[in-house]
Amino acid sequence: MLAGIRSRLTYANVMATIAVFIALGGSAYALTSGEVKSRNIASDAVKARHIDFGVRSQVMLANFTGLGASDYNMAPVGVSVVGDGAVHEMTTPQTFVATGLRVRLDGPVATGSREFVFRYFDYDANEHVITDLQCDVGTGEATCQSNERARVPAGSSVWFDAIGTGTSETDYAEVGWRAVLP
């Protein structure tokens, strides 16, 4: 058996095997030593759907009841009811990134549209921010989604605007999104 292996042991085979191990070892070293930087990744090559959020993110769930034709300020988590007199905002305990917005209404919008916009007020900058994390449920649709990302500073007040345009129907909405640690 040893003679059979020696007969196939040529200089070319040995060099090819060594080259494979060097290439694999070099790649493994580059990945473990942090050598792959953002500059090594093409612009827009990695999207939110490619990221395994794992333990660094939290799914946030909310539902909104009684949405009519107006603009409503709704809580980012838990239950919000139109006309209950409650303030539907929450203060962020730490900086995070909001992403992965998913909205489902109780049925398709008959006329007009319903827009959901993630907003916050940054008290340090004294600035009201309308983020790109938003989606629109159009006529005949019952769902919408967005994978945009919005970085929210600690201590900010956050909420969703639920805006009805050209619709007078009353809707119920289930809203899901992710809070990701930066």
Grouping H, G, I as helix, E, B as strand and the rest as coil, residue 49 is helix
Res 43 pLDDT > 80: no
Q: What is the pLDDT of residue 133?
A: 97
Give the residue, 142 or 58, on which the prediction is more confident. Answer: 142
Residue-level pLDDT at 26:
56
Segment among 8-12, 24-28, 85-89, 136-140 with least mean pLDDT: 24-28
Residue 70, C-beta contacts closer than 8 angstroms, at least 6 positions apart? 164
Domain residue extents for the chain: 2-40, 53-180
Helix (H) or strand (E) holding 16: helix 11-32
The whole-model pTM stands at: 0.69
Q: What angle do CA 115, 116, 122 make, to 5 degrees?
A: 130
**Model pLDDT, residue 56:** 72
Tell me which of 75-89, 113-127, 132-146 is least confident: 75-89
Q: Does CATH number 3.30.470.10 belong to domain 53-180? A: no
Distance between CA atoms of 126 and 111, rounded to whole angstroms? 37
- Give per-residue pLDDT as tens, 144-163: 999 999 999 999 999 999 99
Mean pLDDT of the chain: 84
The model's pLDDT over 164-177, given as tens digits with 9 standing for 90+, comes to 999 888 889 999 99
